[in-house]
Chains A and B, each alone.
Chain A
Amino acid sequence: MLRQLTKNRMALAGIIIICILLFLAVASPWVAPHDPLSQSLGDRLAPPSRAHPLGTDYYGRDVLSRIIFGTRYSLTVGLISIGIGLLFGASLGLLAGYYGGILDRLLAALIDVLMAFPGMLLALAIVGILGPGLFNVMLAVGIWSVPIFARIVRAVALSTRETEFVLAARTVGAGGFRIMLHHILPACIPALIVLCTLRMSTAILTAAGLSFLGLGAQPPTPEWGSMLNESRGALRQAPWVATFTGLVITVTVTAFNFVGDALRDILDPRLKQ
Chain B
Amino acid sequence: MGRNNYVLRKVLVGIPVLIGVVTLVFLILHLTPGDPVRQMLPPDASEEDVMRMREYLGLDDPLSVQYFRYWGRVVHGDFGRSLRSQRPVLEEIRARLPYTIELALVAVILSNVIGIPIGVISAVKQDTVFDNISRAIAFLGVSLPSFWLATMFILLFALVLGWFPPSGRDGPLWTVAGLRSIFMPALTLAVGSAAGLARLARSSMLEVLRQDYITVARAKGLRERLVYTRHALRNALLPVVTFMGTQFGYLLGGAVISETVFAWPGMGQLAVNAIFFRDYPLIQGIVFFYAIGVMLVNLTVDLTYVLMDPRISLS
Contacts and interface: CB of A to CB of B under 8 A. Distances in A.
Interface of A: 109-110, 112-113, 116-121, 124-125, 127-132, 201, 205, 208-209, 212-215, 225, 228-229, 231-232, 235-236, 239, 242-243, 245-247, 249-250, 253-254, 257
Nearest to A211: B147
B36 to A, nearest CB: 9
A242 B143 contact: no
Shortest beta-carbon contacts, A-B, top 7: A120-B253, A246-B148, A118-B249, A113-B20, A254-B143, A212-B147, A128-B283
A128 B256 CA distance: 13
Interface in B25-46: 28, 31-33, 39
Interface in B139-162: 139-140, 142-149, 151-152, 154-155, 159
Contacts of A117: 249, 290-291, 294
B24 interface: yes
B253 A124 contact: yes
Could you say which of B31, B39, B142, B272 has the most chain A C-beta atoms within 10 Å of its C-beta?
B272
Contacts of B295: 116
Contact of A121 (B20, B274, B290): B290
Dominant SS at the A interface?
helix
Contact of A120 (B31, B151, B254): B254
B287 interface: yes
Given A131-B32, A208-B145, 15 more contacts: A109-B17, A112-B20, A116-B21, A116-B295, A117-B249, A118-B253, A121-B256, A125-B28, A128-B287, A213-B260, A229-B147, A242-B155, A246-B152, A247-B148, A254-B140
Contacts of B159: 235-236
A257 B142 contact: yes
15 contacts: A113-B24, A116-B291, A118-B246, A121-B294, A125-B28, A127-B275, A128-B271, A232-B261, A235-B151, A236-B155, A239-B155, A242-B155, A247-B148, A254-B143, A257-B139
B257 interface: yes
Nearest to A121: B253
A229 B294 CA distance: 28
Q: How large is the interface on B (under 10, 10 to 19, 20 to 34, 35 or more residues)?
A: 35 or more
Contacts, number: 136
Contacts of B256: 120-121, 124, 213
A183 B44 CA distance: 57
B148 A215 contact: no
B54 interface: no
A62 B230 CA distance: 59
B16 interface: yes
A253 B31 CA distance: 32
Interface in B280-315: 283, 287, 290-291, 294-295, 298
Given A118-B250, A121-B249, A130 B33 contact: yes
Contact of A128 (B33, B139, B275): B275
Could you say which of B20, B151, B252, B260 has the most chain A C-beta atoms within 10 Å of its C-beta?
B151
B3 interface: no
B275 A132 contact: yes
A231 B261 CA distance: 12
A109 B143 contact: no
B236 to A, nearest CB: 15
A209 B291 CA distance: 21
B151 A215 contact: no
Contacts of A201: 143
A45 B17 CA distance: 51
Could you say which of B31, B33, B287 has the most chain A C-beta atoms within 10 Å of its C-beta?
B287
Contact of A225 (B147, B149, B283): B147
Contact of A209 (B146, B246, B275, B276): B146
B180 interface: no
A113 B154 CA distance: 37
Contacts of B271: 124, 128
Interface in B1-28: 16-17, 20-21, 24, 28
B20 A213 contact: no
A257 B139 CA distance: 9
Contacts of B283: 125, 128-129
Contact of A215 (B261, B272, B287): B272
B231 interface: no
A209 B147 contact: yes
A253 B151 contact: no
B152 A242 contact: yes
A242 B150 CA distance: 11
A131 B278 contact: yes
